[in-house]
Structure 1
Amino acid sequence: MLSDRIRSAAGTFAVGALAAHLVSTVLQNTPDSYNQDLRKFTGGWPIPGWRFFAPNPGVQNVHLLVREAVPDDDGTTPWRDVTPEVPHGWTQVLWNPGSRGPKALFDAMQQLSVMSANQADFSWVTQSVPYQLVFAASRAVAAENARALQFLLMNVFPSAPPDQRMKPILTSEWIPLGPRAVEEAGR
């Protein structure tokens, strides 16, 4: 009889503590942020402070465009969008191993966007890991007969007026391709 009361009390306490934790978590993460008032009532218990999209929500997409210098006509190919498409479906919520490559490329492009926005020295940018990763992704889709390639990162703002939807972020120099360029890239 006493053990039933103890179990019941422990269960009630656990449910109450969980409910209090969930309510305080919701209040902690509201736009009006009541967290300053809640901290004195938590008694050292940590309340998660998630800011999924704040303070700067994503309002643009970053696209990778590539063009090549080809020997056929001594000209360049038109810019083409080679941004990897990530399929969306209900199974991706549970299992999506194919998202890692595009996510890594997206993160690298975002880092280059930040460097460009902060007026980083171009020679420093070209030596960065994100630049090398974006070059490698561009090289992977380049034509086999290409002598050189150039990539362009472009911000696309889907909700902007049509004449203001695209803004270039970074244009690479012409990067020579071929056996010599592959050897130099390996050093």
Structure 2
Amino acid sequence: MLSERIRGAAGAFAVGALAAHLVSTVLQNTPDSYNQDLRKFTGGWPLPGWRFFAPNPGVQNVHLLVRESTSDGAAPTPWRDVTPEVDHGWTQVLWNPGSRGPKALFDAMQQLSVMSANQADFGWVTRSLPYQLVFSASRAAAADDSAALQFLLMNVFPSAPPERRMKPILTSEWIALGPVPAEGATTG
């Protein structure tokens, strides 16, 4: 009889503690105007401080477009979107090693967007690591017989009206390409 009371009390305490933790977490993560510092009430118990991308959530997608020219003097190819596709499935919550490459490219494109928005000197931008990473991704998507390529970063606002849905961010100069090394070949 006493052990049932102890188990019942322990269960009620655990449920109460979990409920208090969840309520405190929600209160801790309300907008700053309502946010109270709850640490003085928790006795040192840590509360997570999530912000879920606030106060500036992402509202656009960045796309990488490429066009090429050949050495025969023909007109450049049309722009084509070479932004990596990222599969989204329930297993990616636990294990998603394939996300690192697209995430690195996305971060580089975001950094170029920031540079462009802040009117950075184009010569400085072209020497930056993000620019080189985006160029490498563009080069990997180019045809083997391309003599030069140009890439374009485009912001796409899915919720905007159609006439304001796309906004160019940065267009590279034409970049001359050398021959593509054979697979497995080393450069000296």
TM over 0.5: yes
Q: Is residue 74 of structure 2 the alignment partner of residue 48 of structure 1?
A: no
Query: Any runs of at least 4 consecutive aligned residues in structure 1 with deviations exceeding 6 A, and if so which?
Result: 1-8
Deviation at 1:58, TM superposition (A): 1.1
Residues in 2 aligned to 1:120 and 1:7: alpha-carbon distance in whole angstroms: 65
Mapping of residues 76-95 of structure 1, within 5 Å: 76-95=76-95
- Residues 108-143 of structure 1, C-alpha deviation per residue, up to 9 Å, x if partnerless? 111111111122222221122111111110000111
Q: Which structure is higher in helix share?
A: 1
Deviation at 1:99, TM superposition (A): 2.0
Residues in 1 aligned to 2:119 and 2:5: alpha-carbon distance in whole angstroms: 67
Match of 1:113 in 2: 113
SS at match of 1:152: strand
| Preserved CA contact (<8 Å) 1:155 1:166 | yes
Letter aligned with residue 121 of structure 1 = D
Match of 2:178 in 1: 178
Residues in 2 aligned to 1:117 and 1:14: alpha-carbon distance in whole angstroms: 51
Match of 2:130 in 1: 130
Deviation at 1:156, TM superposition (A): 0.5
Unmatched tracts of structure 2, length 5 or more? 181-186
Unmatched tracts of structure 1, length 5 or more? 181-185
CA-atom RMSD in angstroms: 2.6
Bigger drift between 69-78 and 36-45 goes to: 36-45
| Preserved CA contact (<8 Å) 1:27 1:33 | no
SS at match of 1:75: coil
Deviation at 1:74, TM superposition (A): 3.6
Percent of aligned pairs sharing the same letter = 86
Letter aligned with residue 141 of structure 1 = A
Match of 1:71 in 2: 71
- Residues 70-126 of structure 1, C-alpha deviation per residue, up to 9 Å, x if partnerless? 123343111111111112233333333222211111111111111111222222211
Normalized against structure 2, the TM-score is what?
A: 0.82
Match of 1:183 in 2: none
Match of 2:149 in 1: 149
Match of 2:103 in 1: 103
Bigger drift between 62-71 and 74-83 goes to: 74-83
